Amino acid sequence: MIIDIHYHLMPAVTEEMAARFAKHVVRAAEIMGKTVSFEAIVQKALETWADPTGERLIALMDEAGIDVTVICMVDNAGVPHLTQERIQKANGIVADVARRYPDRVMALAGVDPRRPEAPDMLRRCFEEFGVKGLKYHPDYGYDPCGPESYKLLEVLAEHGGILLTHTGPLMPPSRCRFADPRLLADLAVDFPELKVIAAHMGAVDWRSWANLALHQPNLYGDLAMWDAHAFGHYELFCRELRDIIDYAGVTKVLFGTDNPLFNTVEPTRNWIHLLRGLPANAPDGIKFTEEEVAAMLGGNAASILGLE
Ligand SMILES: [Zn+2]
Q: For the chain, how many structural domains are there in total?
A: 1
Q: Are 20 and 270 within 8 A, CB to CB?
A: no
Phi, psi dihedrals of residue 10, rounded to the nearest 5°: -110, 110
Query: How far is the centre of ligand 1, averaged over its atoms, from the C-alpha of 286 (Å)?
Result: 29
The pLDDT of residue 251 is: 98
Separation between Cα atoms, residue 11 and residue 97, nearest integer Å: 10
pLDDT at 308: 75
Residue closest to 245 by CA, chosen among 284, 279, 280, 281: 279
Find out whether 91 and 109 touch, Cβ atoms under 8 Å. Answer: yes
Report, as ranges of residue numbers, the positions in the chain whose pLDDT lies below 50. none
Q: Which of 186, 216, 220, 217 is nearest to 201 (CA)?
A: 220
Distance 183 CA to ligand 1 centre (A): 18
Residue 278, C-beta contacts closer than 8 angstroms, at least 6 positions apart: 238, 241, 288, 292, 293
Is 253 in contact with 233 (CB distance < 8 Å)?
no
pLDDT of residue 245: 98
Taking the centre of ligand 1 as the mean of its atom positions, its distance from the CA of residue 129, in whole angstroms, is: 21
Centre of ligand 1 from the C-alpha of residue 78, in Å: 18
CA 25 / ligand 1 centre spacing (Å): 12
Q: What residues sit around ligand 1, an ion, with C-beta below 5 angstroms? A: 258
Q: Give the distance (Å) from ligand 1 centre to CA of residue 71.
A: 10
Which pLDDT score is estimated for 130? 97
> Which domain, by its residues, includes 41?
3-305
What CATH number is given to the structural domain containing 218? Answer: 3.20.20.140
Rounded distance from Cα 285 to ligand 1 centre (Å): 32
pLDDT, tens digit (0-9, with 9 covering 90-100), for 25-66: 999 999 999 999 999 999 999 999 999 999 999 999 999 999
Greatest Cα-to-Cα distance within the chain, rounded to the nearest angstrom: 55
Cα 130 to averaged position of ligand 1 atoms, centre (Å) = 21
pLDDT tens sequence across 134-180: 999 999 999 999 999 999 999 999 999 999 999 999 989 999 999 99
Cβ 304 vs Cβ 162: under 8 Å:
yes
Cα(193)–Cα(224) distance, integer angstroms: 24
Query: Which of 166, 167, 149, 169 minimizes the C-alpha distance to 157?
Result: 149
pTM (two decimals)? 0.97
Ligand 1 centroid to residue 5 C-alpha, Å: 10
Distance 7 CA to ligand 1 centre (A): 7
193 CA from centroid of ligand 1 (Å): 23
